[in-house]
Amino acid sequence: MLAPASSAADLMSPGYPTPATFSSSPPDPGSALYDHLLRQVLLKTKKTDVSLFYGVRNLQRMAYQERFDDWESRGVKIVPVLSRPDGQWAGERGYVQNVFSRMKNIVNPSSVGAILCGHKQMTEEITRVLVAYGLSKDRILTNF
């Protein structure tokens, strides 16, 4: 059995092979966290099975787009979600929690940790989904 995670570093340790991260914020208290998290913790630990669900209103509010290719080349699956995209947007639309629920991304809850940063409603809804999938609450970190 895995010990409860008390920090992002715990979730990135070898005992948590599939970290998933979620963010939804206006420009963006979560962005600095994710930049640091991805650059300093995830990428340095050579994780290759990380998912980042990143939701904002539109592309103009999505920080760090210029780094997405680099993050993806290192094994981070980025799922950008726009709640108010322009007509040209071909990616995911709506809210992070709805997209995640549709994708049914959790394969093995016993090997997943989650970091949730953003609006309280998003963190609460994703927590409910993750717990329903069988993920223990002590392996979900939030900014609340």
What is the b/e burial string over 108-142, where b = at least 16 CB atoms within 10 angstroms of the residue's CB?
eeebbbbbbbbbeebbebbbebbeeeebbeebbbb
6 vs 68: CA distance, rounded Å = 27
Whether residue 17 is predicted with pLDDT greater than 70 in this model: the reply is no
Domains in the chain, CATH or no CATH each: 22-40+48-142 (3.40.50.80)
Average per-residue pLDDT for the chain: 75
- Residue 27 is predicted with a pLDDT of 42
143 vs 120: CA distance, rounded Å = 8
Query: Structure pTM?
Result: 0.78
Q: Give the bridge partners for 41, in sequence order.
A: none
pLDDT (tens digit per residue) in 79-136: 999 999 988 999 999 998 889 888 865 657 777 778 888 888 888 998 998 888 888 8
